[in-house]
Chain A
Amino acid sequence: MLHPAGPAAHAISELWWVMLACGLAIFLFVMALLFAALYRPANPSVQDRDESGTNFWMWGLGLGFPVVTLAALTLYGLFIGERLVPHAAHDLVTVQADARQWAWTFRYGESRVNATEGVLHIPAGRPVNVEITSTDVIHSFWVPRLAGKLDAIPGHVNVLRIEAARPGTYDGQSSEFSGRGYREHVFTVEAHDAASWATFLAEGTQ
């Protein structure tokens, strides 16, 4: 359903499914308790001063249960987040993304002279660091099928790791409101196989 097309997007989609499953399980558990309480047979002889009941409901389910589940999900989230960090990698490609109202410029290579407008070219199957910045207001770089979002902030360079498992075209958009032309502030990512990536680089340096 989420249709991830790269390792970062896979990690995020895995987190999404785990959170959904855990949230659903907790919701059903709480609803079951609620209905059990609503339809409990009336029994006036039972005293509410049962100490063991207090321990179980207040300290166990009231405090212990949320602490344990939230801690577990937080640790899992941190573990997933670590997989998204742009660590040093073999075969790394670095590109530069400059956002402005309302267009994207992408630059390649050491000299940065090779540039494209609105289309980001990357090699498929290789990790790519996108160095994101902005020349006017805050924008946000987001290719949903490849990775999460990262803001483009004037005066800062934020690095996002993306990777496309297979060659293809992936839609991207800004996800930070930027004024009148925000709706059209979109771009595409073109993931090349090795041969056409080499061709792209060769054309650019001519």
Chain B
Amino acid sequence: MTDAPPSPVSQPRATALRLHRGLARIWGSDQRFRGWFTTSNNNDIGTVFLIVATSFFVIGGILAMLIRAQLASPDSAFMEPQVYNQIFTMHGTVMMFLFAIPFFEAMSMLLLPGMLGTRDLAFPRLGAYGLWVYIFGGSAVIIAMLMGLAPDGGWFMYPPLSSAAFSPGIGADVWLLGITSIEVSAIATAIEVIVTVLRYRAAGMSLARMPIFAWYILVVSVMILTAFPPMILGSLLLEVERALNWPFFQVENGGDPCCGSTCSGCSVTPKSTSSSCPPRV
């Protein structure tokens, strides 16, 4: 754009329109309804991200109210124990994976380019990929719950309680695949944020002059990038054990429960299980 010829004074308006159209062709979203599904613009993606995350937040809040309704009186007959276990497992899952992390990602997608003085994030299509993978994974988990197929082993899903022997049925499998999708989405967004912050700042904006929000999001993204891959590995090991009966976590077949709880304990939960599991030779 910088070496465009100087516009004639007599036709400034026509030139500006032409430039605008040229830019819109490259950077704009499809104005029709289907534009919401094909967009790679950070403002559109961030808005959809924010709406979806807020919807999941409402669902998580309703689950919390169900938990409180059950706990309001002792020996309440409001919910069956197995339903209650599903509800509290899903409340933790929804608030952590479907709301807290994606909501922060949505905020960074919306705010970061404006704060850094760049037109868009580093990888617009990666941002769109993250959004749709997140919507797929989150919806799968919620639909499974509405069908009564949610897991009931606690949102941390420690094996062996989450293994096939103690959590039969498809609930834990849907959970593992759905949450792994959301973790993939979080990793995509973390990469996008890190590259954008480090490489796409306005001229003259050194790291020391960067807005504090950008610093905050950079640090969180680095944490996500280091902590989520082990968690995905833990989820995959558990799913392979459940689906193919490879005994990663079954002691009687040479596995070890600490194999997985260390992976899942790595990022999301401060639980000290890993410290109770001494390293094995």
Contact = CB atoms under 8 A, between A and B. Distances in A.
B276 A178 contact: no
A199 B280 CA distance: 40
B273 interface: yes
Given A151-B276, A158-B276, A180 B166 contact: no
A180 B88 CA distance: 13
B154 interface: yes
Contacts of B278: 156
Contacts of A41: none
A180 B83 CA distance: 10
A180 B273 CA distance: 21
Contacts of B160: 136-138, 154
Given A136-B160, A136-B166, A138-B161, A153 B152 contact: no
Label chain B's interface by main secondary structure. Answer: loop
Nearest to A154: B251
A151 B161 CA distance: 14
Contacts of B212: none
B258 interface: yes
A169 B255 CA distance: 38
B166 A155 contact: no
Interface size class of B (residues with CB under 8 A): 20 to 34
Contact of A155 (B85, B257, B276): B257
B276 A137 contact: no
Contacts of A150: 276
Interface in A146-176: 150-151, 153-156, 158, 176
Given A136-B166, A155-B251, A179 B85 contact: yes
A177 interface: yes
Contacts of A177: 153-154, 161
Contacts of A156: 256-258, 276-278
A63 to B, nearest CB: 16
A179 B161 contact: yes
Contacts of A101: 166
13 contacts: A136-B166, A137-B166, A151-B276, A153-B277, A154-B160, A155-B251, A156-B258, A156-B277, A177-B161, A179-B85, A179-B153, A180-B82, A180-B85
Interface of B: 81-82, 85, 152-154, 158, 160-161, 166, 251, 255-258, 261, 273, 276-278
